[in-house]
Amino acid sequence: MHEEGWYLDPFKNHTDRWFSDGEPTKLVRDDGRESYDAPPAEDFARRLVESAEKEAADGADLRRADDAESTGGHPSKGLWEQGLSMWSDYYDAGKRAGEP
């Protein structure tokens, strides 16, 4: 059999490894991120386990920064209230330094 596709990395260096014509390639995947790492020179167990494909996100749960509905009309309002705006750090630092 000549495996082609993503299989669990038999070398256990990565989550998945791409196989082509039954041979491991340098294309690997960890947590959905692909990169390159040449397979070790050592032999591997010939019984390969197919990698479970994860469904791609459709982006329906994402919001744009300028989405007025999610921010109450101002793009940075929610961030400011949570103290996550980059300007909130400067504001807090100024207050600690005694600036108005």
* pLDDT (0 to 100) of residue 38: 97
Q: How many CB atoms lie within 10 A of CB 5?
A: 12
Query: What pLDDT, on the 0 to 100 scale, is given for residue 23?
Result: 93
Tens digits of pLDDT across the chain (100 residues): 688 999 999 999 999 999 999 999 999 999 989 999 999 999 887 789 999 876 556 667 677 766 655 555 555 555 556 555 555 565 666 666 666 6
Distance CA 55, CA 45 (A): 28
Parse the chain into domains and list their residue ranges: 1-52, 64-100
Cα distance between residue 76 and residue 87, in whole Å: 10
pTM: 0.53
